[in-house]
Homo-oligomer: A and B are copies of this chain.
Amino acid sequence: MEPVFPFDLDLPARGAGRIARDLHQQLRAAILEGRLVAGAVLPATRRVATALGIGRNTAVTAYDLLIAEGYVLPRVGAKPVVAEIAQRRLEKARTARAIDRKNWLNDSWRATPGLTTPPGILPPRSFRLGLPEHRYFPHAIWRRLVANALRRQARSGFAYGPSEGIPELRQAIAQHVAFARAVACNADDVIVTSCAQQAFALLALKLITQARRLVAVEDPGYPALRFAMSAAGAELAPTPVDEEGLIVDRLPPGVRIICVTPSHQSPTGVALSLRRRRALLDYARRHDSVIIEDDYDGEFRYGARPLDALQTLDRDARVFYVGTFTKSLFPELRKGFIVAPPWARGAIVEAKYVVDSHSDTVVQMALAAFIRDGHLARYVRHMRGVYAERRAALIEGIEVQLADWVKLIPAEAGLHMAARFLRRRDAAMILRAAALHTPGAVPLTNYAVSRDVAPGIVFGYGVIDAGEIGPAMLKLRRALEKGDRSI
């Protein structure tokens, strides 16, 4: 029989009064030690009595004592629950117990989450980065596809999924990425991951060795990528970025792994020029390096002529193409992928098996159907129009209103744009004013490794309407005109 409490009770037979007190004391200890937590529903006294072979009144007496002391709350027509007060006392007990053992931890690497502001602090419509629009997403279609996938699962039985992803999703991603981004691949080359971040972690785990630990990263660049590399033992070689993207000539010698965002550099937004793309592939050939191509925001391009992906230009099986559905669909989906050269595929699948076995099969089924049925292509096409309008409003806002303070960095893709400060000394003033009038915008230097990165500001337009951008920029301008002191 199932035990009535999840711990042992010791109630020697000796008069109902003594038993009630024993029970009361042992339950109270369980609450104080956290074996029964605040909000836990206690079993009915009738069940307690039967299970423990005691009188029901004895159980009622024990409960009454707990209620009298405030450990347990009675509820009308429902079983009593453990009270919050107990929780607070417990917190103290636990803190006392917790020996400081921070020196126990591996601090050869650290990560600082929270580059972007946590939800709840910014207004829902803001200039925050990296978050896509949800208003035009076909929620009802997605709900239907998820329900279909769950029904399929209910019919077929439970199963562990393949570490590399389910075949239908790998096939759908291969077709999508081949068509949308001209990436040369088929289903076998695709490994499904939990977003781009896991893709970085898997590649780091299998590519970095003691002998090959110098990893080039863009400066400024995406911090979480750097954390993933460092956690796997990398030594970072921050490499500067200009208006043509990563400055290939500045790559130090001996770099064996190069991380790059060619479509839309993160965070400056510039595209890696064709000249640089060829130079980078040439560097890789000469130094026997591999390239991790993060096609960050690559779905949303506004120019007529997208440049070929590095993966497309590569004739030497050196490029790992990393894609994600975080921006083209939504972050909670947690789905990204690697298009890997054949020589490395098996090893990356192994890494995926080791870090979390496989990704959620039901969501994979729904996503495969969403792509296959054309919803993704349609949605991206629609959103490209929506974002293009916002981008135009942002360019106009920056160029018309803020021309005295900043200079826009040209960008043809993505969901954000960056601008550099004309005068370094304005930086603090502009950032303070922006915090008030364009909330969510962040300093470019948040992404910097070295102090050489020119300061600037990055505006996202994923969750702000085109019509709100101009007025916000006007307010920002007025604040800047009033000058430093009044802000």
Contacts and interface: CB of A to CB of B under 8 A. Distances in A.
The 7 closest A-B pairs by CB, nearest first: A34-B184, A139-B154, A198-B356, A194-B356, A98-B342, A332-B361, A7-B182
Contacts of A101: 317, 341, 343-344
A8 B304 CA distance: 10
A355 to B, nearest CB: 5
Given A37-B186, A143-B150, A194-B356, A134 B105 contact: no
A91 B186 contact: yes
B186 A38 contact: yes
A175 B37 contact: yes
A486 interface: no
B159 A131 contact: yes
22 contacts: A2-B384, A6-B180, A7-B312, A30-B182, A33-B184, A34-B184, A36-B178, A87-B186, A111-B350, A118-B162, A134-B158, A137-B154, A158-B331, A158-B332, A161-B331, A161-B332, A197-B355, A332-B362, A334-B356, A355-B355, A360-B363, A363-B363
A427 to B, nearest CB: 27
Given A171-B39, A182-B7, A195-B356, A102 B350 contact: no
Contacts of A332: 153, 158-161, 360-362
Given A6-B306, A38-B186, A119-B159, 9 more contacts: A34-B184, A37-B175, A87-B186, A104-B290, A111-B351, A118-B162, A193-B356, A194-B357, A360-B360
A436 interface: no
Q: What is the size category of the interface that chain A forms with chain B?
A: 35 or more
Contacts of A171: 39
Interface string A344-387: 10010111011111111111000000000000000001001000
